[in-house]
């Protein structure tokens, strides 16, 4: 691990094979067996790995890390599932995570799913399969905090993914309430930021999670999985996730 840190500090994003190729060409030039080099040159050297000189290190291996851990919560804040995004938080990855979570519980799909990029996720679902069951069971909305940063010119986002439409088209998302002064206001029915709030708490364990191995991570996550008894209790509820 220490060797890899030194390598990154010295060569940043250069590949190990690329650095070795440069070193090999330097050696060929110094021995006169390679093409001549004119002008000043920068001599590149790899640090030693234990008792092995740097130029004799054939390859190095380092465990890869995932891009992010995607979590899914009910609107009340109870986490119900998770998934790993390996290279990016892309729409196909997110859709696969949702499919995995509800694979055994298709009748318990929520009426609403709030996601920071719900409009692109919706586009992906429609383009991949216009008969996807998600389109019949669930409305995808952008969470309130991220919605303010989405383009006002995005028609699909504004008409299909608005978390709080004020035209009465989504009475399950917007409630009409009376305050202590007798004035009537419209307010959101659900907290669409439970996932962000949970992730904020989870970030406190980032350093520990980065150090554990893949198998150990799976075991710890399995320990937190919800049982069939939980899903039996959820049966019939039509909440938001």
Tens of pLDDT along 144-201? 999 999 999 999 999 999 999 888 888 888 888 888 888 888 888 888 888 888 888 8
Helix, strand or coil, per DSSP, at residue 147: helix
For the chain, the domains span: 2-56, 68-234
Token pair of 117, please? 């990029």
Instruction: Name the pairing type of β-strands 112-114 and 184-188.
Output: unpaired
Confidence of residue 238 (pLDDT cuts 50, 70, 90): very low
pLDDT, residue 1, reads 56
Using CB atoms within 10 Å of the CB of residue 237, give its burial: 0 to 12 exposed, 13 to 18 middle, 19+ buried: exposed
pLDDT, residue 203, reads 84
pLDDT, residue 45, reads 61
pLDDT, residue 40, reads 47
Q: How many CA atoms lie within 13 A of 10 on its CB side?
A: 14
pLDDT, residue 62, reads 60
Helix, strand or coil, per DSSP, at residue 186: strand
Cα–Cα separations (whole angstroms), residue 149 to 57, 62, 84, 160, 174: 49, 37, 25, 16, 20
Q: Cβ–Cβ contacts within 10 Å for residue 94, how many?
A: 21
pLDDT, residue 149, reads 93
pTM: 0.65
User: Which helix or strand (DSSP H or E) is residue 52 part of?
Assistant: none
Q: Are 137 and 239 in contact (CB under 8 A)?
A: no
User: Which helix or strand (DSSP H or E) is residue 81 part of?
Assistant: strand 79-85
Residue range 4-58, pLDDT digits in tens? 666 666 666 667 666 667 666 766 666 665 555 554 455 556 666 667 666 666 5
**CA atoms of 59 and 40, how far apart (whole Å):** 29
Which of 90 and 12 is assigned the larger pLDDT? 90
Q: Which residues pair with residue 69 across a beta bridge?
A: 84
**CA atoms of 81 and 79, how far apart (whole Å):** 6
Residue range 109-149, pLDDT digits in tens? 999 999 999 999 999 999 999 999 999 999 999 999 999 99
Mean pLDDT across the stretch 208-223?
A: 58
pLDDT at 231 over 60: no
Residue whose tokens read 């307010």: 187
pLDDT, residue 82, reads 85
Q: Cβ–Cβ contacts within 10 Å for residue 241, how many?
A: 25
pLDDT at 239 over 50: no
- In 100-111, which positions are buried (b, 16+ CB within 10 angstroms) versus exposed (e)? ebbeeeeebbbe
Mean pLDDT rounded to a whole number for the chain: 78
**CA atoms of 26 and 40, how far apart (whole Å):** 12
Backbone angles phi, psi at 132, to 5 degrees: -55, 140
């Amino acid at each position: 691990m220490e060797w890899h840190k030194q390598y990154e500090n010295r060569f940043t994003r250069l590949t190990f094979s690329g650095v070795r190729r440069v070193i090999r060409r330097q050696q060929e030039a110094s021995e006169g067996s390679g093409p001549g080099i004119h002008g000043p040159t920068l001599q590149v050297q790899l640090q030693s790995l234990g008792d092995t000189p740097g130029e004799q290190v054939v390859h190095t291996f380092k465990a890869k890390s995932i891009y992010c851990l995607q979590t899914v919560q009910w609107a009340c804040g109870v986490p119900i599932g998770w998934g790993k995004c390996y290279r990016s938080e892309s729409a196909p990855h997110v859709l696969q995570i949702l499919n995995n979570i509800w694979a055994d519980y298709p009748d318990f799909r929520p009426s609403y799913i709030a996601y920071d990029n719900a409009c692109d996720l919706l586009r992906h679902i429609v383009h991949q399969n216009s008969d996807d069951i998600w389109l019949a069971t669930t409305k995808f909305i952008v969470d309130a905090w991220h919605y303010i940063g989405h383009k006002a010119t995005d028609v699909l986002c504004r008409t299909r993914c608005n978390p709080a439409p004020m035209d009465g088209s989504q009475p399950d998302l917007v409630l009409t309430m009376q305050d202590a002064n007798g004035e009537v206001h419209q307010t959101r029915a659900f907290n669409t930021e439970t996932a962000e709030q949970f992730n904020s708490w989870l970030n406190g364990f980032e350093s520990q999670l980065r150090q554990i191995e893949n198998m150990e991570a799976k075991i710890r996550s399995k320990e937190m999985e919800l049982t069939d008894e939980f899903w039996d209790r959820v049966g019939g509820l039509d909440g938001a996730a």
